[in-house]
Amino acid sequence: MAKLAFLGLGVMGGPMAGHLQKSGHEVTVYNRTALKAEDWVKAYGGASASTPRAASEGADFVMACVGNDDDLRSVCLGDDGAFAGMQAGAIFVDHTTVSAAVTRELYAAADHAQISFVDAPISGGQAGAENAQLSIMCGGDQGAFDRALPVMEVYSKICRRIGDSGAGQMTKMCNQIAIAGLVQGLSEALHFAEKAGLDGRAVVEVISQGAAGSWQMANRYETMLDDEFDHGFAVDWMRKDLGICLGTSDEIGASLPVTALVDQFYKDVQKLGGGRWDTSSLIKRLRAMG
Do 73 and 157 lie in one domain? The reply is yes
CA distance 103 to 136: 16
Q: Which of 1, 6, 2, 15 is nearest to 47 (CA)?
A: 6
Rounded mean pLDDT, 171-193: 98
Instruction: Let me know whether 120 and 209 are in one domain.
Output: no
Q: Residue range 94-115: average pLDDT?
A: 97
**Residue 290 above 80 pLDDT?**
no
Mean pLDDT for the stretch of residues 113-118: 98
* Secondary structure (H, E, C), the chain: CCEEEEECCCCCHHHHHHHHHHCCCEEEEECCCHHHHHHHHHHHCCEECCCHHHHHCCCCEEEECCCCHHHHHHHHCCCCCHHHHCCCCCEEEECCCCCHHHHHHHHHHHHHCCCEEEECCEECHHHHHHCCCEEEEEECCHHHHHHHHHHHHHHEEEEEEEECCCHHHHHHHHHHHHHHHHHHHHHHHHHHHHHCCCCHHHHHHHHCCCCCCCHHHHHHHHHHHCCCCCCCCEHHHHHHHHHHHHHHHHHHCCCCHHHHHHHHHHHHHHHCCCCCCEHHHHHHHHHHCC
pLDDT in the model for residue 1: 85
Same-domain check for residues 152 and 175 = no
Q: Is the pLDDT of residue 276 over 90?
A: yes
- Assess whether 36 carries a catalytic annotation: no
202 shares its domain with 140: no
CA–CA distance from 198 to each of 203, 223, 228, 283 (Å)? 7, 17, 19, 16
Domain count, the chain: 2
| Co-location of 76 and 122 in the same domain | yes
Same domain, yes or no: 268 and 175 = yes
What does the pLDDT read at residue 88? 98
Q: Cβ(8)–Cβ(65) under 8 Å? A: yes
Please identify, among 120, 145, 164, the residue that sits at the C-terminal boundary of a domain: 164
pLDDT band at 73 (very low <50, low <70, confident <90, very high): very high
- Together in a domain, 109 and 215: no
- What's the mean pLDDT in 37-53? 98
What is the per-residue pLDDT across 186-243, written as a single tens digit (0 to 9) for each?
999 999 999 999 999 999 999 999 999 999 999 999 999 999 999 889 999 999 999 9
- Amino acid residing at 180: A
CB 207 within 8 A of CB 186: no
Q: Domain check: are 20 and 136 in the same one?
A: yes
Residues 6+ apart with CB under 8 A from 49: 5, 28, 29, 30, 37, 55
**Angle (CA) 238 190 222, round 5°:** 75
Question: Is the domain of 37 the same as that of 141?
Answer: yes
What does each C-alpha distance from 45 to 37, 64, 217 come to in angstroms? 11, 19, 37
Q: What is the pLDDT of residue 94?
A: 98
Mean pLDDT of the chain: 97
Q: What is the pLDDT of residue 79?
A: 97
pLDDT score, position 231? 86
Same domain? For 274 and 154 the reply is no
Indicate whether 30 pLDDT > 90: yes
Question: What CATH number did the domain enclosing 155 receive?
Answer: 3.40.50.720
- Mean pLDDT, to the nearest integer, of 93-116? 97
Residue 234: CATH number of its domain: 1.10.1040.10
What integer pLDDT is reported at residue 232 of this predicted model? 81
Q: Are 95 and 72 in contact (CB under 8 A)?
A: no
Do both 197 and 156 map to the same domain? Answer: no
Around Cβ 54, how many Cβ atoms within 10 Å?
17
Mean pLDDT of 54-63: 98
pLDDT for 59 beyond 90: yes
User: Which one from 172, 267, 271, 284 is the annotated catalytic residue?
Assistant: 172
Confidence of residue 175 (pLDDT cuts 50, 70, 90): very high
Q: Domain end: 144, 164, 184, which one?
A: 164
The domain of 54 spans: 3-164
pLDDT in tens, 241-254: 999 999 999 999 99
Last residue of a domain, one of 147, 164, 181: 164
Do 58 and 141 share a domain, yes or no? Answer: yes
